[in-house]
Structure 1
């Protein structure tokens, strides 16, 4: 009897790009080294080697390969993308006062906030060095713009997350900043370095943008209905951290005056009591906002798939198509 082993889309993508990813891993280790500050590789290794999927650098490699690239600059670009991502995680954990990341203690908990912030700054600097080495001013523009957008998104989230006036348009702006900007930059830069046509570069950008939005919406939904052993987070962490994500925004929009007072107390004022999470979940159930949020994630995944139609017929394109479907299938 033949047994077919079905792997997840990102695993298939990792397998197809295994040689390139191995080169990225080697470059990550080489560039996170510091002769003068051993804490830099210690902290970076703690996060980089924590078992993450390396999805963002894989997207850069996939876009370059799909576009027929034959050079080596995509390795440096993918490494730059991973360094930007790692730097933002280090900074985020300090801002959020997080104690767990991917099921492990955060760097700021094991070391301290100052070290996390400074090592994050170091990785941003390293990423810019790698961008410059490509010799492409356009690639430098794409990734530097993404870095600025990510920071802007984080600052916007800091002010919008506990403000009940935050609506779905502001939420989307935050998501585009803190998540989708790096996805779209990763795919766009891969196409640019391969000198793909403008139509294909635009398609790669659109794919990364929609995939990133679907990914973040799904992540926000998993916070309320996910398996904590799989996500590495406790159910309701976003509620406890007073983060206005899409399921809550949808519930606030439909709230009665009494329900609005509940959200104001728990989210805006942060006066949370035992049983409040259950009450929040009950209100989301009342207005079926988890289902509505899932539909939004699925719609963005479909937009990502639609963008791929402008790209060459290739096994990598098929994997990217399946990846966008998988992002929301995690919600099953």
Structure 2
């Protein structure tokens, strides 16, 4: 086999989606560039262009376009919603980098490092405002409700993470709540509004929500695992960054739950108190391995990916449905 058929088989799912929605993604990009302009504050497009221009897979807006297409939509409001989703995502990245005091994103210096924290926060606020303008233009109160709720959930998840991230008492239930806020809320909103704008039946929009929710959770758990097991050249981040930043992610939560007194003292010193020494990362990985925490977290990610695929069963038989199922498998293929 050769030519286009082979390319289709070997392409990654998000690349196949990007190829299918190439024209719409170009329209979304043009809309983003137009709406991030500011006559009175040229720093806004400067900061936004730096982050938008850094690349990224545009996964969230693609999910909106895919959901709308899957449900038979043929208009252009899906492009406005895809741009809305990307604006919300970009705004949260700008805010997150300030909160986390990050210095690098997608292999480039962060906006807060190149400009300052105030610029990052205020430009993020501007993008949130632009996103709401775009939502309103669709004329759908239900769309506005979904995306407004998602924005609130994202902020709530970030605040919860501030208190939970370095507290050894944090449970898997609280971790899931944080992940639903910081990652899954925008995935599920992105897919659900695609169905809503297409006028899909409630059962289908619910299935799209469930798919996005499960996909987002699987995506985040996989990311957490890659922090300890990933290839820095492939992930764009150094192994152990989350540990060094004292983030209590799922593999650590699972290891802490099985820790004896000596091990708990280690986690308290390195995560709660932030006193880290040479060799601590290796010891942390050894503890997670010995307690099966990494394997258990991997099983959780695979289970959530499975739920995402199962949710698609309520949706029409369609080439995009196959791509979305493949995407769910792909986000966990990096850790399986």
TM-score, normalized by length of structure 1?
Answer: 0.99
SS at structure 1 position matched to 2:54: coil
The answer to whether the aligner puts 1:206 opposite 2:210 as a matched pair is yes
Question: Aligned match of 1:145 in 140, 145, 149?
Answer: 149
TM-score, normalized by length of structure 2?
Answer: 0.98
- What is aligned with 1:57? 61
SS at structure 1 position matched to 2:101: coil
Cα separation, 1, equivalents of 2:228 and 2:286 = 11
- What is aligned with 1:302? 306
User: Number of matched residues?
Assistant: 332
SS at structure 2 position matched to 1:138: helix
Question: Aligned match of 1:75 in 76, 79, 91?
Answer: 79
Cα separation, 2, equivalents of 1:45 and 1:96 = 21
- What is aligned with 2:183? 179
- 8 Å CA contact retained: 1:102, 1:231: no
The answer to whether the aligner puts 1:18 opposite 2:42 as a matched pair is no
The answer to whether the aligner puts 1:93 opposite 2:97 as a matched pair is yes
- 8 Å CA contact retained: 1:64, 1:74: yes
The answer to whether the aligner puts 1:2 opposite 2:2 as a matched pair is yes
Unmatched runs of 5 consecutive residues or more in structure 1: none
C-alpha deviation, 1:19, in angstroms:
1.0
The answer to whether the aligner puts 1:162 opposite 2:196 as a matched pair is no
Question: Aligned match of 2:220 in 213, 216, 219?
Answer: 216
Structure 1 residues 2 and 77, CA gap change in structure 2 (3 angstroms)? closer
Cα separation, 2, equivalents of 1:49 and 1:105 = 12
Cα separation, 2, equivalents of 1:2 and 1:240 = 46
Unmatched runs of 5 consecutive residues or more in structure 2: none
Regions of 4+ moved over 6 Å: none
Superposed CA deviations along residues 144-169 of structure 1, whole A, max 9, x for unmatched, are 00000000000000100000000100
C-alpha deviation, 1:2, in angstroms:
2.9
SS at structure 1 position matched to 2:237: coil
Cα separation, 2, equivalents of 1:259 and 1:190 = 47
